Structure 1
Amino acid sequence: MTSRFTHGLRWITLSSLLLSLHAVADIEEQLAQCAAKTDKLERLICYDTLAAQAMNRAAKQVSTDVNEVPTHTAEVAASQTETAQTTLTESAQENFGKVVKQEQIDAMWLTVKQVDKDPYGTLKFSFENGQQWKQIDSRRFRVSSGDKVQIERAALGSFLLGKEGSNTTIRVKRIN
């Protein structure tokens, strides 16, 4: 009885191995075809289609293998799949809400190119480097073209704009 089981398991393993080798060769060929496409959108669609086909094949292979293997092997495969899904969920939960830290600067000096007021009296700044910022609070602030100003990070992701030689600041946000 045991030899029949191991003999059948060997054939299942061998056939799965041969099918997977053929699938790998086929996927490599399709990847090369996708990589040869010059249009970015067509290449992306090709890769997406290939990924969907691979997922469908994997799902069909798992369902076929589960039907062919003895019951206790199917239970082991199901528990391994459940463990993998639990690990993925835990990883997603650990990373939920994290902000990817990038290189940040805390402050920068800019030269004002133009200052405008909108209909509500808030200031809009254009700087020589092409950036545009606008005032988001209602404080009075005097600045004119050619002035050097500093924009620095403040609490909770906000920014403060201050003029050289002055202690007054206003809250601003970037608009371009």
Structure 2
Amino acid sequence: MKAFIVFALLTLFAPLAFSSSLKDQIKSCSEIKPVDGRLACYDQLANSLDQHAIKEFGQEQKRISEEAPEQIEAKIVAIKMAAHDKRLITLDNGQLWKQSDSRGVNWKIGDAVVLERALFGSFFMVPSDGGHKLRVKRIK
């Protein structure tokens, strides 16, 4: 009987191999209630990783940028000055960003900021309440 359930679940979730992202496939497996079925789904997913890597070869960056949010919000927890009057800004989510341009800003610890995607993989940091954008690069 167990074998039948596992076979039925594998048949039911076989289309997972053709899902658009690995993240979606993992999420689908995690939603399966019977332990045997969930394990079988994860096993099938693990066996398809090589095929997935071949399918995605050369388009990794495209996939990453499609799945990532366009902007995030955070609060500044530390600001340090680096070489050439560039700021190192630490956010409450643990990320560390370095100023890329030479614009001056009067930001302080506790300010809420929005990080936005810009062209060619670059980013802007702007205060949540509006103001000047600062071009930044993620360090950590």
1:133 aligns to 2:133 (yes or no): no
Structure with bigger RCO (C-alpha 8 Å, 6+ apart):
2
Compare the two structures and name the one with the higher strand fraction.
2
Instruction: Work out which of the residue numbers 85, 94, 99 in structure 1 matches 2:61.
Output: 99
Aligned length: 84
Letter of the 2:63 partner, please give it.
K
Cα separation, partners in 2 of 1:160 and 1:96, compared to 1, 3 Å = same
TM-score if structure 2 supplies the norm length? 0.54
CA-CA distance at 1:164 after TM superposition: 2.0
CA-CA distance at 1:100 after TM superposition: 4.2
Match of residue 121 from structure 1: 85
Match of residue 123 from structure 2: 159
| Paired-residue identity, % | 29
Provide, for residues 58-105 of structure 1, a one-character-per-residue CA deviation record: whole Å limited to 9, x for no partner.
xxxxxxxxxxxxxxxxxxxxxxxxxxxxxxxxx9xxx65773413110
1:109 aligns to 2:73 (yes or no): yes
Cα separation, partners in 2 of 1:96 and 1:170, compared to 1, 3 Å = same
Larger Rg: 1
Unaligned runs of 5+ in 2: 1-53
Q: SS of 2:93's equivalent?
A: coil
CA-CA distance at 1:120 after TM superposition: 1.3
CA-CA distance at 1:118 after TM superposition: 1.1
Unaligned runs of 5+ in 1: 1-90
TM-score if structure 1 supplies the norm length? 0.44
CA-CA distance at 1:128 after TM superposition: 1.3
Cα separation, partners in 2 of 1:96 and 1:112, compared to 1, 3 Å = closer
Q: RMSD of the TM alignment (CA)?
A: 2.1
Determine the C-alpha separation between the residues in 2 that align with 1:134 and 1:162: 13
Cα separation, partners in 2 of 1:98 and 1:109, compared to 1, 3 Å = closer
CA-CA distance at 1:129 after TM superposition: 1.4
Match of residue 24 from structure 1: none
Deviates more, 1:141-150 or 1:100-109: 100-109
Determine the C-alpha separation between the residues in 2 that align with 1:129 and 1:106: 17
Determine the C-alpha separation between the residues in 2 that align with 1:96 and 1:113: 37
